[in-house]
């Protein structure tokens, strides 16, 4: 539900106020002095706090007043710049955006226009791609338990690659391929490398649900079974280590394991697989003093590892595919909330807003940390660590611990939380029957709704129990 606007005075957010609200709101610069989206994290590249808080040239208070709160804001310019940064850093690789981070028709269109591929992992994500005419050959279909319906939809649309995740999927997929066609597939193998910010998002080690184990022999068995299926064309191997990975070193280790597997397939079957997909998981900064894994940092390490390992094994270098998701959409998004109440206890200050774990489940799921900033009015008061909480009936409904907000924070204020462009809209729920927020895209001084707010009438229409 949107919150009704309240009367307020919107004033300049000057240097003193910016410091009071949690530090300078200027865009950080790389060593060469140029503006880059990665240097701007956790805020998007076009977010400014002078003379008023704005993103994409659109005042954030205008968005809050017109569209209500909570509301997701996505910076189209930042998304496109991040796409181009990956293409520049890895000019000879296929860059495939991981749709699970955030997808809507507008986002799929931007990704298509920027020349990237699209990694989907459900029939719903594929349907979004199809609805905007996303080129089928640039789609990679993932999933550890793809349903027969999803596999059929993928085959019928002619997706470029299907990533086989288990042995049972091989004959099931082969049986769906029409006569005279061959479906290109990758095998997802487990390199047994743990990486990622939380145990729940580490997917490269033994014992989790994804992929074919090298250690148990399932990966080798899958190679044999795919090669025996004339309807399937094995073109390469795939792995995915996890999410929110902040260093390139785990990818370097993964390259060594995966290239060795390619060499074993060559030595055993006499075939050289031309592709290697290293998945995604590149991390971003969520706090002002944080640092994500940039495309350049990733590319330098990975390219060197592939070159050296392939040379050592006398193997032609495979064409690389990488699947960034969070690192393209994450800092491009922010969420606006309105303060409902402020409580000062003996131990801390609690600032309750009109959203919460239904629009940002990551703190309760993974202990993720966020910052926040007051917008829309000047405060000369010093900042204090506050606990930003949601409106849901859960003690764990916390958005940000230690958020630097001014001491006079009060009901009616609007707060911006950065780095909410990935795994927020895509993981949002209707807990407590709270409708999901809208998504407003901004660029070049214009704002438009790309996903509308979910209202109570939408929830009631699904309830057919009477």
| Nearest-5° Cα angle at 233, 227 to 235 | 100
In 176-304, the DSSP E strands lie at 183-190, 212-213, 232-238, 275-277
Say which DSSP state 160 is in: S
In the chain, what's the furthest Cα-to-Cα distance?
A: 73
Based on the residue annotation, tell me whether 393 is a catalytic residue of this protein.
yes
Q: Is 394 annotated as a binding residue?
A: yes
Q: How far is CA 235 from CA 27, 152, 183, 265, in A?
A: 43, 20, 10, 12
- Catalytic residue of the set 83, 239, 310, 393: 393
Which residues 6+ apart lie within 8 Å of 422 measured at CB? Answer: 101, 102, 284, 325, 326, 328, 329, 330, 333
Instruction: Please identify which residue in the block is written with the tokens 């002095």.
Output: 33
> b/e string for 382-404 if b means 16 or more Cβ within 10 A?
ebeebbbbbbbeeeebbbbebbb
Say which DSSP state 444 is in: T
In 329-372, the DSSP E strands lie at 333-344, 349-353
Secondary structure percentages of the chain, helix, strand, coil, to 5: 30, 25, 45
Q: Is 366 annotated as a binding residue?
A: yes
Burial group, residue 122, by CB count within 10 angstroms (0-12, 13-18, 19+) = middle
Q: Is 323 annotated as a binding residue?
A: yes
Q: Is 402 annotated as a binding residue?
A: no
Distance of alpha carbon 149 from alpha carbon 204, whole angstroms: 27
Q: Is 286 annotated as a binding residue?
A: no
Q: Is 97 annotated as a binding residue?
A: no
Q: Is 175 left (phi over 0), alpha (psi -120 to 50) or beta?
A: alpha
Q: Is 326 annotated as a binding residue?
A: yes
Distance of alpha carbon 123 from alpha carbon 130, whole angstroms: 10
Q: Is 42 annotated as a binding residue?
A: no
Axis-axis angle for helices 105-113, 76-89 (nearest 10): 40
Q: Is 274 annotated as a binding residue?
A: no
Question: Token digits for 272?
Answer: 């050289």
Active site residues per annotation: 393
Task: Show binding-site residues for pyridoxal 5'-phosphate.
Answer: 281, 323-326, 423
Binding residues for substrate: 326, 362, 366, 394, 423
Q: Please report, in range form, the residues annotated as the binding site.
A: 281, 323-326, 362, 366, 394, 423
């Amino acid at each position: 539900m949107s919150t009704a606007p309240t009367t307020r005075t919107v004033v300049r957010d000057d240097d003193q106020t910016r410091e009071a609200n949690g530090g300078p709101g200027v865009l950080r610069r790389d060593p060469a002095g140029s503006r880059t989206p990665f240097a701007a994290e956790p805020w998007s590249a076009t977010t400014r706090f002078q003379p008023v808080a704005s993103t994409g040239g659109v005042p954030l208070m205008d968005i809050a007043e017109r569209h209500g709160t909570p509301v997701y804001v996505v910076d189209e310019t930042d998304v496109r710049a991040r796409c181009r940064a990956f293409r520049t850093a890895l000019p000879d690789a296929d860059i495939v955006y991981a749709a699970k981070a955030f997808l809507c028709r507008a986002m799929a269109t931007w990704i298509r226009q920027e020349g990237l591929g699209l990694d989907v992992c459900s029939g719903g994500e594929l349907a979004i791609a199809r609805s905007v005419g996303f080129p089928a050959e640039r789609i990679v279909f993932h999933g550890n338990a793809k349903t027969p319906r999803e596999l059929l939809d993928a085959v019928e649309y002619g997706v470029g690659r299907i990533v086989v995740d288990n042995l049972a999927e091989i004959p099931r997929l082969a049986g769906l391929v029409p006569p005279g066609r061959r479906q290109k597939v990758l095998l997802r193998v487990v390199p047994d490398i743990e990486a990622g910010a939380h145990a729940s998002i580490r997917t490269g080690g033994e014992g989790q649900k994804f992929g074919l184990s090298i250690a148990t022999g399932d990966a080798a068995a899958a190679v044999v079974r795919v090669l025996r299926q004339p309807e399937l064309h094995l073109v390469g191997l795939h792995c995915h280590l996890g999410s929110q990975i902040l260093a390139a070193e785990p990818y370097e280790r993964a390259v060594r394991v995966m290239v060795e597997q390619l060499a074993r397939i060559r030595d055993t079957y006499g075939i050289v697989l031309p592709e290697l997909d290293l998945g995604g998981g590149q991390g971003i900064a969520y706090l002002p003093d944080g640092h994500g894994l940039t495309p350049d940092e990733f590319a330098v390490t990975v390219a060197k590892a592939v070159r050296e390992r392939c040379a050592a094994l006398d193997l032609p270098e495979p064409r690389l595919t990488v699947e960034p998701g969070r690192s393209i959409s994450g800092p491009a998004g922010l969420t606006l909330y309105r303060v409902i109440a402020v409580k000062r206890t003996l131990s801390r200050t609690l600032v309750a807003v009109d959203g919460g774990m239904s629009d940002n489940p990551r703190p309760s799921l993974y202990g993720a940390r966020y910052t926040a900033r007051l917008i829309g009015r000047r405060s000369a008061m010093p900042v204090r660590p506050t606990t930003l909480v949601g409106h849901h009936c859960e003690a764990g409904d916390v958005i940000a611990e230690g958020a630097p907000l001014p001491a006079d924070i009060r009901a009616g204020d609007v707060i911006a939380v950065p780095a909410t462009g990935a795994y927020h809209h895509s993981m949002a729920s209707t807990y407590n029957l709270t409708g999901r927020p809208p998504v407003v895209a901004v660029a070049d001084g214009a704002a438009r709704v790309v996903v509308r707010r979910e209202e109570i009438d939408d929830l009631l229409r699904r309830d057919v129990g009477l």
